[in-house]
Structure 1
Amino acid sequence: MKQIKYLLLFVAIFMANSIFAQNANQAKACMDKAAANISNLGGFTARFELSRPGAVGRTAGTISVKGVKFVATTPQTTVWFNGTTQWSYMKSTDEVNVSTPTEAQRLSMNPYALMTLYRQGYNLSMTNEGGSYVVHMKATNPKRNIPEAYVTVNKAYQLQKIKIKQANKWTTITVSGIQRKNLSDNIFTFNKKNYPSAEVIDLR
């Protein structure tokens, strides 16, 4: 009797692990297709809306992306990232902060950066919600800058929404209006000539 009990337990565990592995593979395939869609665009522009708890609240803007480079503009700020250096211009203070951004900082302004992070250091699972795929990313190292995230893509594998966890708080970024564009590399670097009165503060 005990042998049958242990055999059934083994079968149950094996089936659960098999289902988990299949789901993880499906989640990775979904992310692979979504990442390929973005890569195939080359350069593109989109609208985004960002919401997070606290005083920051909700803000909306536009973003232009080419590979890892991006420039994002909101009513309060403009952020440029050329793949190495980030410039953040605050309109209220007429200041530009120059930095080498962390993973979390890049993600807070460029949701598409998450579309490459999933490949290493995350366990993936997937559910279907309202006609969209929702991929849950959980870091194998809980001390990672982004320990957890949810990525929502439609049935055409186009990014719709990202929800990321930072310091036990969630930030949600909704994306719409994606348009393919030929973008010059120059637009991803801050040009002092366009902001002659701005104070540049190097934080590197």
Structure 2
Amino acid sequence: MKRILLLAMLTGGIVVNGMAQTKTPVGSLGKNDPKAKAILDGVSKKFAQLKSVVANFVLKVEGANNSVTDSKKGTVYLKGAKYKVNLDGQELISDNKTTWTYTKDANEVTINNVDPNSTSLSPAKLFTNFYDKDYLYRLDGETTEKGKVLQNIEMTPTDKSKNVFKVIVSIDKKGQNIAKMKVYEKNGNHYTYEITNFTPNGSVTDATFSFDPKKYPGVEVVDLR
């Protein structure tokens, strides 16, 4: 589950809607889709104006045959570049300088420095313009799910050595929020992250984004800094 939690830092059935759009290869001639960029820029701009975000999500893990093998509920807290993810007895915390990964069953926390040059997709990066540097992208049409019109953007990493070869980001057209993300791995596994509740400008203190060992009696600390 540690690997699944890290994938969740990126952060149901879909009924195809209306008119089909002409699809072009992702990053055709090395260029990105300007329509997709406009949508992603809109999400980034809106997020930059928020003081904080609290979002609940459901993570579904699917095997190569599209069967759901696991489903977990989680919560992510965001404030600028700081974040905290709670998922099934695990916590991932970052104050943008240090990250703490805590596993409840083992009562263990691993500490690392934040690498500013890392291309990993953290929760904070997910709502910024990370896509311009690390991905090629195109608009893959609109779909309707649970009464919401979603704009689906297909993204492929520019670094082809990554285990993830494709990500579908679904944007709520009306709310300009990320509604869902589906991550495709080369081994055939899929991970779907569906946002079930999105609360902007909630009450989130800076203490949320640090790990206090006093609150975890007997915790084993693995400091890799």
TM range, smaller chain: 0.7 to 0.9
Structure 1 residue aligned with 2:210: 189
SS at match of 1:52: strand
Displacement of 1:146 in angstroms is: 4.5
Alignment partner for residue 167 of structure 2, among 149, 152, 160? 149
Q: Return the offset for 1:144.
A: 4.0
| Cα distance in 2 for residues equivalent to 1:53 and 1:202 | 33
**Higher helix fraction: Structure 1 or Structure 2?**
1
Q: Is this contact kept in 1: 2:56–2:75, CA < 8 A?
A: yes
1:33-52 superposed Cα distances (whole Å, 9 cap, x missing partner): 11122222221101011122
For the pair shown, which has the larger CA radius of gyration, 1 or 2? 1
Structure 2, unmatched stretches of 5+, are 1-23
Distance 1:119 1:143 in 2: 18
2:88 alignment counterpart? 75
**Which residue in the other structure is 1:175 paired with?**
195
**1:72-103 deviation per Cα after TM superposition (whole angstroms, max 9, x unaligned):** 11232121111132211111111112234765
Off by >4 Å, runs of 4+ in structure 1: 20-23, 100-104
Percent identity for Structure 1 against Structure 2: 25
| Counterpart Cα distance in 2 of 1:56 and 1:79 | 23
State whether residues 133 and 154 of structure 1, in contact with CA within 8 Å, keep that contact through their aligned partners in structure 2.
Answer: yes
Counterpart residue number, 1:165: 184
SS of the residue 2:49 aligns to: helix
1:129 aligns with 2:143: yes
> Which residue is equivalent to 1:64?
77
Q: Deviations over 1:150-176 (max 9, x none)?
A: 110111211100112345432211112
Partner amino acid, structure 1, of 2:143: E
Contact 1:61–1:74, Cα closer than 8 Å, also in 2: yes
TM-score (norm 1): 0.77
Equivalent residue, structure 2, for 1:29: 38
| CA distance in 2 between partners of 1:38 and 1:26 (Å) | 19
Note closer, same or farther for the CA distance 1:45–1:68 as it changes in structure 2 (3 Å cut). same
C-alpha deviation, 1:182, in angstroms: 4.0
| Alpha carbons 2:85, 2:93 under 8 Å: kept | yes
8 Å Cα contact 2:32/2:136 also seen in 1: no
Q: In structure 2, how many angstroms separate the alpha carbons of the residues matched to 1:123 and 1:73? A: 30
Worse-matched range after superposition: 37-46 or 95-104: 95-104
Instruction: State how far apart, in whole Å, the 2-side matches of 1:125 and 1:67 are.
Output: 27
Matches of 2:73 and 2:165, distance apart in 1: 25
Residues 181 and 142 of structure 1, relative CA distance in 2, 3 Å threshold: same
TM-score by length of 2: 0.70
User: Which residue number corresponds to residue 112 of structure 2?
Assistant: 99
Task: Return the match for 1:119 from 132, 136, 139.
Answer: 132
How many residues end up aligned between the 2 structures? 183
Change (3 A) 1:199 1:171: same
C-alpha spacing 1:184/1:167, structure 2 compared with 1 (3 Å)? farther
Q: Shift of residue 23 of structure 1?
A: 7.8
